[in-house]
């Protein structure tokens, strides 16, 4: 009895809050209709395309065609990345692109609460059962962290690391160079841009550990690759990559 009355009064408070601050979609900011689930409106939810198969089993890039078997992409055929494998939740287009922009540049940290648990779910189903990873968010340069006020990858990584068998380390890896935004660069420039940008601060923390790198977006996989190289040099065992969104294969 006591239980249900506490719940009722919580719901009552929520109804009042909703009257004063009607809930909006975290992506497009449209007002949500009464009875609609909180978080994301149905339109934006439909606009999120999962980065499912067919995809490259190594870097996780989804193929546009949407049919056929998983197969190695051209890039991985030519040169395998330093990480074992990577996966993403969404294709980086449409509502996912909008969501990431709001998350990163609009300071909508609430999106981590919405997408973090889903990213954790993907990690749980995808990672081999023997992997008990140290979850490492891709770091921002200190200057960018000061500008933005938060590291979007860390906000996501916290949810992933909250699972049994996982641990979080957001200090092990450091970004040394203040690099221009990746979106402004071509593929080769992008790669040159991130190589040697990362350094492991505390090698003992990653020694012989399986690492799960977490980032918001992966465009070509070059950031994950550069982080992986630094971690392997420092003695890490295997590296896996997990991102919220991934650009489709060109």
> Under the criterion CB under 5 A, does residue 44 sit at the interface with Zn ion?
yes
Among positions 32, 39, 41, 134, the unique one binding Zn ion when judged by CB under 5 A: 41
117 backbone φψ class: left, alpha, beta (φ>0; ψ -120 to 50): alpha
Q: Which is nearer to Zn ion, 73 or 96 (CB)?
A: 73
> Under the criterion CB under 5 A, does residue 73 sit at the interface with Zn ion?
yes
Query: Minimum distance between the CB of residue 75 and Zn ion, rounded to whole angstroms?
Result: 5
The alpha carbon dihedral of 136, 128, 160, 144 has a sign of positive
Residues paired with residue 184 on neighbouring β-strands, in sequence order: none
Neighbouring C-beta atoms of residue 4, cutoff 10 Å: 8
Among positions 48, 51, 55, 76, the unique one binding Zn ion when judged by CB under 5 A: 76
Neighbouring C-beta atoms of residue 134, cutoff 10 Å: 20
Among positions 32, 51, 55, 58, the unique one binding Zn ion when judged by CB under 5 A: 58
* Phi, psi dihedrals of residue 55, rounded to the nearest 5°: -145, 170
Please report how the helices 110-126 and 94-105 are oriented relative to each other, as an axis angle in degrees rounded to 10: 120
Q: Which one of 75-83, 152-160, 196-204, 205-213 is the stretch in contact with Zn ion (CB under 5 A)?
A: 75-83
C-alpha separations of 49 from 38, 111, 176 in Å: 19, 16, 34
Query: Minimum distance between the CB of residue 43 and Zn ion, rounded to whole angstroms?
Result: 5
Q: Which is nearer to Zn ion, 48 or 59 (CB)?
A: 59
Distance CA 63, CA 51 (A): 9
> Under the criterion CB under 5 A, does residue 166 sit at the interface with Zn ion?
no
> Under the criterion CB under 5 A, does residue 56 sit at the interface with Zn ion?
yes
Query: Minimum distance between the CB of residue 72 and Zn ion, rounded to whole angstroms?
Result: 6
Among positions 23, 28, 131, 145, the unique one binding Zn ion when judged by CB under 5 A: 28
Q: Which is nearer to Zn ion, 84 or 169 (CB)?
A: 84
């Amino acid at each position: 009895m006591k239980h249900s009355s506490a719940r009722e009064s919580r719901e009552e408070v929520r109804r009042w809050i909703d009257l004063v601050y009607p809930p909006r979609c975290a992506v497009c900011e449209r007002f949500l209709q009464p009875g609609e689930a909180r978080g994301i409106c149905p339109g934006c939810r439909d606009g999120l395309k999962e980065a499912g198969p067919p995809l490259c089993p190594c870097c996780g890039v989804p193929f546009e065609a949407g049919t056929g078997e998983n197969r190695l992409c051209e890039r991985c055929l030519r040169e395998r990345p330093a990480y074992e494998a990577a996966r993403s939740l969404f294709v980086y287009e449409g509502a996912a692109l909008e969501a990431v922009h709001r998350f990163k540049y609009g300071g909508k940290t609430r999106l981590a609460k919405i997408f973090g648990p889903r990213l954790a779910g993907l990690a749980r189903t995808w990672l081999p059962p023997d992997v008990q990873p140290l979850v490492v968010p891709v770091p921002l340069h200190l200057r960018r962290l000061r500008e933005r006020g938060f590291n979007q990858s860390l906000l996501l990584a916290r949810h992933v690391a909250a699972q049994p068998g996982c641990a979080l380390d957001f200090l092990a890896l450091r970004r040394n160079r203040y690099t221009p935004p990746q979106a402004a660069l071509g593929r080769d420039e992008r790669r040159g841009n991130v190589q040697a940008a990362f350094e492991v601060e505390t090698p003992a923390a990653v020694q012989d550990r399986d690492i799960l790198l977490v980032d918001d977006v992966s465009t070509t996989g070059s950031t994950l690759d550069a982080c992986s190289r630094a971690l392997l040099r420092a003695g890490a065992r295997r590296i896996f990559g997990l991102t919220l969104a991934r650009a489709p294969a060109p």
